[in-house]
Chains A and B, each alone.
Chain A
Amino acid sequence: MPHLQDKAAIFRLGVTIFVYLAVLTGLEYFVAVTFASVLFLIVIALVKAALVAYYYMHISRLNAEHEGEPESHGYRTGTMRLGLWLFLLSDSFVFGGLMVARVNLLGMTRPELNQLLGLLVTGILLASSFFMNRGETAMEHGDRKSFLANTTLTLLLGVLFLVGVVGLEWPMAIHAGVKPDSGAPGAIFFMMTGMHALHVTTGVIFLFIVLGNGRKGLYTSEKHWAVEAAAVYWHFVDLVWIFFYPALYLIGRIA
């Protein structure tokens, strides 16, 4: 089990994964502005998603064997973990459907957007995932102070992401002529970012709740399912953006 390991080692692993993700994002951008290979971009996105799913979302915990008797806390947490992942599976079909709509309507074109801002919000969300992972790891080791600090940072970065997308990118896109009713690129852009922003918002609310209860001292290193759920959900939202970012900003030429 991860929480039996050394906390510092897990923190170091988190940093390594974050560096990998950051480098891959940079590579993604480089590929897009130079030889623009869609295959490359898809492979990079898949690698990033796999890193997030394995190291941040601990997908392998679904396969945990030593959970104890059916009535025990460990077994029940396992059931809830399965429930959460089933929910994420279901939810990913919405995002998959939006990607299908994007490919069907826009093909090898994309809306005209602010590249710098796109890279910036992607970085912000990535960083928030990093701090979320630190917060969850801290809670697993009973370090409440570090948990609260890191989760607060995650929450602030999440809000910053929302400000970047909804508060800055949307008005800028409208100003540049990419409007909800101006044609397929605008419709797709607003629906995809809107649905994603809705999920970020629910994630922020979830983090608020976890922070509030964490401050009351309701979580221990043994019992903190809500923290784990909030973290996995938060990483899922990041994972969706790993695919949405290239789909909206990098692939194809400007429509």
Chain B
Amino acid sequence: MKKLNPVLRGLLFMLVGGSAGFALGLVIALAATGQADPAGSVPAVFAWFLGATAFFYGLSGYGPAARGLVWQVVGTLAGALFVTLLRLVMGLDEIFGSFLFSEPAWVFGALVGVLSFIAGSRIADDWWKWAKGISTPEHDEDPADWRKYLGVSLDHKVIGIQYTMIALLLLAIGGTFALIFRTELAASQLQFLTAEFKLFNQNGLQIYNSLMSLHGMLMIISILLGVSGIMNYVVPLLIGAQDMAFPRLNAFAVWIAVPAAVLLLASLLLGGFDTGWTGYPPLSARAPVGIQMFFLGVFTAGWSSILGSLNIIATIVRLRARGMTAWRMPIFVWASMATSIIALTATQLIGLSFQLVMFQRLLGMGFFDATRGGNPVLFQHLFWFYSHPAVYVFVLPGLGVISELLPVFVRKPLYGYRFVAVSSLGIALVGFLVWAHHMFTSGMNEYLRVPFMYSTLLVAVPTGVKFFSWVATIWKGKIETPTPMLFVLGGIIVFLLGGLTGPPNATVSVDLHLHDTYFIVGHFHDTIFGGFVFPFFAALYYWFPKATGRRMNETLGKIHFWLMTPSFLFLTFGMMRIGLLGMRRRIADYDPALGLDTTHLLMTVAGYLIALSVLVFFFNFFRSITKGEKAAGNVWNSRSPEWLVPSPMPAHNYAVPFEVVGEPYDYGLPGSRFVEFSKAKHPEAH
């Protein structure tokens, strides 16, 4: 047989596996309930699991990804069956639930499933050996070809790319979900997500709610993984480390994001959930069982985030090159530090808040049930203690990327280096004190409003420092505008719009009117696109040659930028406009008398244009890996150490360690140098 392209083989396997799973699911549903509904959940669950597993199997054989997924499925079923049998033996009622198993069985099964994934993908094997007193080699050799990205690698560059790929995948899925419900919103009344529409045992309105809720959380997880991806790839290179401080922990953190994503998506198949991404009780206390999968998925992804940031902090503190004092660290390293401090600590609180709702549902513990002495507002405090600082986790690395790339493309020193460096920490620390501005209308004590208003407005100060620095850096610079720089400039403008629409929301008197309107949706899409998505794309275009030795196509990159930016600006301006005119968040339908139909239609068109631009990016990205223009040298004429050695980067980074001898951003100053490689013969690229 002729050898098939592995990707084609994977897709083919997915098709066959998915169909087989669908048929199997139909048969099981028929056997269990006496009726086989093709739009029901059970066939979909089987199709999804078997299809995903078969895809990875086709791609690389029975490797960690396929093996982990198989084990996760088997583990989930085993755990669920165990609880079901236990309940049968104990003589409890509700042995089965509306989705085959009862809720406790699903929760326990999902937990066992995650642990089974860990066992099956063998990401914790070295620790297991250590526990038994067996020592392991320092570094396993990775395969030379692309297959290393599907295996458990300890190399921070491979792990960074793994993070980025999962992030892009979730970005695509979350974006598709947004397009679906954006289409429904194109006109008033319900068009296709109607009460008659049936999918996964939900009607159209429930599907709308589930997609809208999942869009939020999938994007958040995607952003967290994207942040980790860039930090993992870039930070050790910038500070001259051979690898991260804890390579095994690093591999563990990226791989448990996979079962987390599986759980999040599985929530759609188990009745979905209708709470929005925030999962407030009491609504989440009575949502379908899908919300438990959502909770567990977020919980697992949270551990990925916590362990990843722990690693980043330890790496930055312990593994810097000689001479790299705090005031000579690149801004992106400062930003990674600030972001990791938030992710390390605050993430525990969203985990706790979701855990408490989980137990309220399972054991009737009335934490947030006012009829049992609980307090729903407590949930919001715990939840926002993470979920507000989380937005700084998203944007700080992005703003760091902007500060990192701007001097390269204007050929001038970064203005006010020390202030910019400290502003990241400033945003992170003030960010811990602002959470209750999400709760001005929630019924919390009124005297809390004003202090939280002022602390929120205070965030504008360190953020303003960054803007001041960027503008002053651009001032009178020799500006070059290759694709990464376009995205940097776009990021600055879009983030400015997000920033300027923030203080109105922070002001109590205005927020009482704006709360839960589309104005808020417009505001945070601006901040997240400006603070993360634009800089993320800039970073991908910028460091792509470092990872592959080839560069992405400039023309396609410019098409991507010029298609995405105006469409996006139109979309968010539209959101803010309809918000001010009275359009509420999260709802599937609106009154035609509001007169918003035209704006909504145009916004939907803009949404599709953004999707098109991202497709252009994906095409460019995957094509350039093999067919891009060769670029082994210092493509951007940067001073940063990673560009002074040839691309792609070798497995253990710098063959010769470097020493920091000057300031990082002194572009254009004659005779200044940032790093010096120890040996006389420079490995400088040409």
Q: How far, in Å, is A119 (CB) from chain B's closest CB?
A: 26
- Which residues of chain A come closer than 8 Å to B132, judged between CB atoms? 212
- Which residues of chain A come closer than 8 Å to B385, judged between CB atoms? 97
Q: How far, in Å, is A84 (CB) from chain B's closest CB?
A: 10
Instruction: Tell me whether A93 and B318 are in contact (CB under 8 A).
Output: no
Q: Is A209 an interface residue (CB 8 A)?
A: yes
Instruction: Tell me whether A97 and B372 are in contact (CB under 8 A).
Output: no
Q: Is B348 an interface residue (CB 8 A)?
A: yes
Instruction: Tell me whether B314 and A187 are in contact (CB under 8 A).
Output: no
Instruction: Tell me whether B352 and A98 are in contact (CB under 8 A).
Output: yes
| Complex: A198 Cα to B378 Cα, angstroms | 24
Q: Is A91 an interface residue (CB 8 A)?
A: yes
Instruction: Tell me whether A187 and B245 are in contact (CB under 8 A).
Output: no
Q: How far, in Å, is B282 (CB) from chain A's closest CB?
A: 15
Q: Is A63 an interface residue (CB 8 A)?
A: no
**Which residues of B are in contact with A by a Cβ distance under 8 Å?**
130-133, 245-246, 249, 306, 310-311, 313-314, 317-319, 344-349, 351-353, 356, 359-360, 363-367, 372-375, 378, 381-382, 385
Q: Is A50 an interface residue (CB 8 A)?
A: no
Instruction: Tell me whether B348 and A181 are in contact (CB under 8 A).
Output: no
| Complex: A104 Cα to B356 Cα, angstroms | 14
Instruction: Tell me whether B351 and A94 are in contact (CB under 8 A).
Output: yes
Q: Choose the segment among A3-11, A27-35, A75-83, A136-144 that binds chain B (4+ C-beta atoms closer than 8 Å).
A: A75-83
Instruction: Tell me whether A187 and B367 are in contact (CB under 8 A).
Output: yes
| Complex: A87 Cα to B685 Cα, angstroms | 40
11 contacts across the A-B interface (CB closer than 8 A): A80-B246, A82-B314, A90-B344, A91-B348, A94-B348, A181-B365, A183-B372, A185-B373, A186-B365, A190-B365, A209-B131
Q: Is A164 an interface residue (CB 8 A)?
A: no
Given A183-B366, A190-B365, CB of A79 within 8 Å of CB of B245? yes
Nearest neighbor of B352 in chain A, beta-carbon distance: A97
- Tell me the residues in window 62-82 of chain A with beta carbons closer than 8 Å to chain B beta carbons: 70, 75, 78-80, 82
Given A83-B246, A186-B365, CB of A181 within 8 Å of CB of B310? no
Instruction: Tell me whether B317 and A101 are in contact (CB under 8 A).
Output: no
In the complex, how many residue pairs between chain A and chain B have their CB atoms under 8 Å apart? 106
**Which residues of A are in contact with B by a Cβ distance under 8 Å?**
70, 75, 78-80, 82-83, 86-87, 89-91, 93-94, 97-98, 100-101, 104-105, 180-188, 190-191, 209, 212-213, 216, 218, 226
Q: How far, in Å, is A8 (CB) from chain B's closest CB?
A: 30
Q: How far, in Å, is B3 (CB) from chain A's closest CB?
A: 44
Instruction: Tell me whether B382 and A100 are in contact (CB under 8 A).
Output: yes
- Which residues of chain B come closer than 8 Å to A180, judged between CB atoms? 359, 363-365
- Which residues of chain A come closer than 8 Å to B130, judged between CB atoms? 226
Instruction: Tell me whether A184 and B133 are in contact (CB under 8 A).
Output: no
Instruction: Tell me whether A93 and B349 are in contact (CB under 8 A).
Output: yes
- Which residues of chain A come closer than 8 Å to B360, judged between CB atoms? 187
Given A181-B364, A187-B366, CB of A82 within 8 Å of CB of B382? no
Q: How far, in Å, is A97 (CB) from chain B's closest CB?
A: 4
Q: How far, in Å, is B575 (CB) from chain A's closest CB?
A: 33
| Complex: A209 Cα to B132 Cα, angstroms | 7
- Which residues of chain B come closer than 8 Å to A91, judged between CB atoms? 348
Nearest neighbor of A78 in chain B, beta-carbon distance: B318
- Which residues of chain B come closer than 8 Å to A70, judged between CB atoms? 318-319
| Complex: A182 Cα to B366 Cα, angstroms | 8
Instruction: Tell me whether B318 and A105 are in contact (CB under 8 A).
Output: no
| Complex: A101 Cα to B240 Cα, angstroms | 44
Instruction: Tell me whether B382 and A89 are in contact (CB under 8 A).
Output: no
Nearest neighbor of B307 in chain A, beta-carbon distance: A87
Which of B246, B360, B367 gathers the greatest number of chain A CB atoms within 10 Å? B367
| Complex: A197 Cα to B372 Cα, angstroms | 25
Instruction: Tell me whether A79 and B351 are in contact (CB under 8 A).
Output: no
Instruction: Tell me whether B348 and A101 are in contact (CB under 8 A).
Output: no
- Which residues of chain A come closer than 8 Å to B310, judged between CB atoms? 83, 86-87, 90
Nearest neighbor of B246 in chain A, beta-carbon distance: A83
- Which residues of chain A come closer than 8 Å to B375, judged between CB atoms? 104-105
| Complex: A94 Cα to B349 Cα, angstroms | 6
Q: How far, in Å, is A35 (CB) from chain B's closest CB?
A: 28
- Which residues of chain A come closer than 8 Å to B359, judged between CB atoms? 180, 187, 191
Instruction: Tell me whether A89 and B345 are in contact (CB under 8 A).
Output: yes
- Which residues of chain B come closer than 8 Å to A87, judged between CB atoms? 310
| Complex: A104 Cα to B374 Cα, angstroms | 9
